[in-house]
């Protein structure tokens, strides 16, 4: 534990040293060879000092009176994106588990579904986002009306379900023949075999898949916010602040840091989940 | 699920005594534990059919210990899997206590143990022994009591809360036997359960199995590669030959009841005599040297 804290701190410090070291040593306009920039610019617009970023984060968002400090606005946007990504993650994990279960249960379902599952990930997100939004906006059932954030969550789940369905399929098929025979000799049906044997046995395969799904959900949410044009999230904020980068270069780094924090929180939740399922992670005994 | 299932289930739901006749009904008491009539099993393969078993006849009486022995590929494990309804014969007929194997399986008429202990690694030793009871709806308290009783029986009472991977191979196998005995089955099917154990552990668990079997009065069908093991444990040894798998000879052992057999039996002349008889049946001819000491056909 102590060792992990030390290596973590060392990692952050070396990153800071790298940034500031490069900024100190590299020429302001970068290194250009034959008209091509091979090393990035190190001037204050492209690479502000870290302390400038920190100071900017503490200052108000805009010069308008009564504006929130930047860090607070970023925090709210990050929480919003995290919430949308979490919804997407939950949907993605559920759908992934269901497709894997279906594929494990029926051989034909595996040969019918698996190619589509793989194919689904080749559709570019940018092409998908406006489609999802348009389809969603036509949905209106009673008092329920489709919101833009739901489109973002759907796209996040679209990226999240893939690793789960592939990992869960492997996991659900992983029990030893001797275990399957044993459960069969007990005369129990498919569902009891699934719940007492296949699902617990799938956990070691599921946990890395679920972690990957969390990362995918965050990336999916951030990118989908931008391509759908959803306000209030961190992705949109990065683009907005990036537009005014020449006037206020330190400002856009706050939402970028916010996006990193969202990713870290998502990864942290997955670590907690792994801890909770620790007893299922033991290696197989003979 | 047959109509008799609910009664047999409720009869087992309490803490069941390990001693006693199977189920108690007149119909099952009269029937042999296992009845195999002209059974064959073919496996289709790319290079033509493989005959794993050809026209096998065998009767295992209630309470009898029968070992199946033979070279690799003689179909002894296949025969056990057919009895357990883990596989279906391509010809002939099998009954378990007078019922088709799939009915016997649904009725939980037999316990089973494999070469691999096959304990679920995420369950404690106790929860592993409780598994069949839990799946068949036995109440929590009754389950616990039965598991404690069984773990005491196999000498692992102190390990109830351990995880399987904290146990040695021999201990895991004893847990697997306790699990197989959980529902006091009147038939125990064992597929080389001690095959992966070292010789000393093996002799120890063999003696333990004899004791458990004497207490439970269950019939046992026991697949093994080892001649001394088969002789030491069995009432009769079924010697099989390979390609196609057939019963070559059935050697009666008659070395006394399970309860009377002790470690001393391993040094007894009668024991060596039976070992030699099984060995000769296996090889078909009289081996050149008369001594059969320590023969192990693996």
User: Using one digit for the tens of pLDDT, what is the confidence trace for B95-141?
Assistant: 999 899 999 998 888 999 998 889 999 999 999 999 999 999 889 99
Question: Do A41 and A114 fall into the same domain?
Answer: no
Half-sphere exposure of B154 (CA within 13 A, CB side): 28
Nearest alpha-carbon partner for A91 in A170, A141, A149, A134:
A149
* H-run or E-run covering A256: helix A253-276
Q: How far is CA A282 from the centre of its chain?
A: 27
- The secondary structure of chain B in percent helix, strand, coil, rounded to multiples of 5, reads 40, 20, 40
Q: Is the pLDDT assigned to residue B288 strictly greater than 80?
A: no
Q: What is the pLDDT of residues B222-257, one digit of tens each?
A: 999 899 999 999 999 999 988 888 888 888 887 777
Question: Do A37 and A179 fall into the same domain?
Answer: no
Question: Do A252 and A164 fall into the same domain?
Answer: yes
* CB proximity A176 to B under 8 Å: yes
Question: Do A43 and A153 fall into the same domain?
Answer: no
A283–B131 CB contact, under 8 Å: no
Spell out which residues of chain A touch residue B163, defining contact as CB-CB under 8 Å. 282
CB B128 within 8 A of CB B24: no
Spell out which residues of chain A touch residue B110, defining contact as CB-CB under 8 Å. 185
- d(CA B148, CA B123) in angstroms, rounded, equals 15
DSSP letters along A8-72, please?
A: HHHHHHHHHHHHHHHHHHS-TT-EEETTEEEE---STTTS--HHHHHHHHHSBSSSSTTPPBHHH
**A199-228 vs A125-137: helix crossing angle, rounded to 10:** 80
Question: Do A131 and A41 fall into the same domain?
Answer: no
- Which CA distances in Å does A33 have to B55, B157, B210, B222? 84, 77, 85, 80
Question: Do A213 and A235 fall into the same domain?
Answer: yes
* CB proximity A187 to B under 8 Å: yes
pLDDT computed for residue B69 by the predictor: 92
* CB proximity A177 to B under 8 Å: no
Question: Do A90 and A172 fall into the same domain?
Answer: yes
* H-run or E-run covering B60: strand B48-60
Question: Do A32 and A127 fall into the same domain?
Answer: no
pLDDT computed for residue B14 by the predictor: 42
Do the domain assignments include residue A64? no
To test the contact with chain B by mutation, choose from A171, A198, A202, A286 the residue with the greatest count of B C-beta atoms within 10 A, namely: A286
CB atoms < 10 A from the CB of A32, how many?
A: 12
Spell out which residues of chain A touch residue B173, defining contact as CB-CB under 8 Å. none
Helix (H, G, I), strand (E, B) or coil at B170: helix
Do the domain assignments include residue A145? yes
Do the domain assignments include residue A33? yes
Two tokens at B143? Answer: 């389950």
* CB proximity A276 to B under 8 Å: no
Residues 43-82 of B with CB under 8 A from A: 81
Question: Do A25 and A82 fall into the same domain?
Answer: no
Two tokens at B258? Answer: 């399970």
Two tokens at B262? Answer: 């002790």
Q: How far is CA B12 from the centre of its chain?
A: 21
- Residue B210 vs residue A125, higher pLDDT: B210
Do the domain assignments include residue A65? no
First to last CA, chain B: 40
DSSP state of A194: I
B172–A286 CB contact, under 8 Å: yes
Do the domain assignments include residue A286? no
ipTM: 0.78
**Residue ranges of domains in chain B, CATH in brackets:** 28-109+191-271 (3.40.50.300), 118-184 (no CATH)
Question: Do A40 and A92 fall into the same domain?
Answer: no
Nearest CA in chain B to A278: B122
Question: Do A78 and A133 fall into the same domain?
Answer: yes
Question: Do A54 and A37 fall into the same domain?
Answer: no
CB atoms < 10 A from the CB of A274, how many?
A: 18
Do the domain assignments include residue A134? yes
Residue A276 lies in domain? 49-59+70-281
| Mean pLDDT, residues B66-91 taken together | 90
Q: What is the pLDDT of residues A145-203, one digit of tens each?
A: 788 889 999 999 999 999 999 999 999 999 989 999 999 999 888 999 999 999 999 99
Count of domains observed in chain A = 2
Max CA separation in chain B (angstroms): 59
Q: Is the pLDDT assigned to residue B285 strictly greater than 80?
A: no
pLDDT computed for residue B296 by the predictor: 52
A186–B132 CB contact, under 8 Å: yes
Please report the number of interchain residue pairs, chain A to chain B, with beta-carbon separation below 8 angstroms: 63
Choice among A71-75, A101-105, A110-114, A235-239 with the minimum mean pLDDT: A110-114
Share of chain B above pLDDT 70, in %: 85
* Beta strand pairing call for A144-145 and B91-96: unpaired
């Amino acid at each position: 534990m102590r060792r992990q804290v030390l290596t973590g701190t060392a990692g952050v410090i070396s990153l800071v040293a790298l940034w500031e070291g490069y900024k100190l040593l590299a020429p302001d306009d970068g290194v250009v060879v034959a008209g091509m920039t091979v090393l990035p610019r190190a001037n204050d617009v492209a690479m502000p000092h870290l302390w400038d970023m920190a100071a900017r984060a503490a200052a108000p968002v805009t010069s308008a009176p009564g504006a929130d400090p930047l860090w607070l606005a970023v925090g709210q946007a990050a929480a919003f994106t995290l919430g949308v990504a979490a919804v997407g993650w939950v949907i993605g994990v559920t759908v992934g588990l269901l497709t894997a279960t279906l594929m494990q249960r029926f051989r034909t379902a595996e040969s019918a579904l698996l190619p589509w599952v793989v194919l689904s990930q080749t559709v570019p997100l940018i092409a998908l986002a406006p489609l999802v939004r348009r389809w969603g906006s036509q949905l209106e059932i009673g008092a329920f009306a489709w919101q833009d954030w739901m489109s973002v969550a759907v796209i996040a789940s679209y990226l999240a379900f893939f690793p789960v369905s592939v990992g869960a399929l492997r996991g659900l098929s992983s029990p030893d023949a001797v275990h399957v025979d044993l459960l069969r000799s007990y005369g129990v049906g498919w569902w009891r075999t699934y719940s007492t044997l296949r699902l617990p046995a799938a956990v070691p395969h599921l946990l890395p898949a679920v972690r990957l799904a969390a990362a995918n959900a965050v990336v999916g949410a951030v990118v989908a916010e931008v391509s759908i044009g959803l306000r209030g999230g961190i992705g949109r904020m990065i683009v907005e602040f990036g537009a005014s980068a020449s006037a206020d270069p330190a400002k856009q780094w706050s939402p970028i840091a916010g996006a990193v924090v969202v990713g870290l929180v998502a990864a942290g939740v997955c670590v907690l989940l792994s801890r909770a399922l620790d007893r299922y992670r033991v290696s197989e005994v003979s | 699920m047959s109509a008799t299932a609910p009664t047999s289930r409720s009869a087992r739901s309490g803490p069941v005594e390990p001693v006693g006749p199977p189920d108690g009904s007149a119909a099952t008491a009269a029937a042999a534990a296992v009845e195999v009539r002209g059974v064959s099993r073919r496996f289709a393969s790319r290079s033509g059919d493989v005959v794993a078993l050809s026209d096998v006849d065998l009767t295992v009486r209630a309470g009898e210990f029968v070992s199946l022995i033979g070279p690799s590929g003689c179909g002894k494990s296949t025969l056990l899997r057919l009895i357990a309804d883990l596989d279906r014969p391509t010809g002939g007929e099998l009954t378990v206590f007078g019922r088709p194997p799939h009915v016997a399986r649904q009725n939980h008429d037999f316990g089973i143990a494999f070469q691999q202990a096959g304990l679920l690694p995420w369950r404690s030793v106790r929860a592993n022994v409780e598994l069949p009871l839990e799946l068949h709806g036995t109440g929590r308290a009754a389950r616990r009591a039965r598991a404690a009783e069984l773990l005491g029986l196999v000498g692992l009472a102190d390990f109830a809360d351990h995880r399987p991977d904290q146990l040695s191979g021999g201990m895991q196998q004893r847990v697997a036997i306790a699990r197989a005995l959980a529902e006091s089955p009147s038939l125990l099917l064992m597929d080389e359960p001690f095959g992966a154990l070292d010789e000393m552990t093996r002799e120890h668990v063999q003696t333990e199995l004899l004791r458990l079997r004497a207490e439970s009065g269950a019939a046992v069908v026991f697949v093994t590669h080892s001649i001394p093991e088969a002789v030491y444990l069995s009432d009769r040894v079924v010697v099989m030959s390979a390609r196609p798998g057939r019963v070559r000879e059935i050697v009666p052992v008659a070395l006394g009841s399970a309860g009377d057999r002790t470690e001393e039996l391993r040094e007894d002349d009668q024991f060596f005599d039976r070992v030699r008889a099984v060995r000769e049946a296996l090889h078909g001819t009289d081996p050149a040297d008369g001594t059969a000491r320590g023969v192990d056909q693996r």
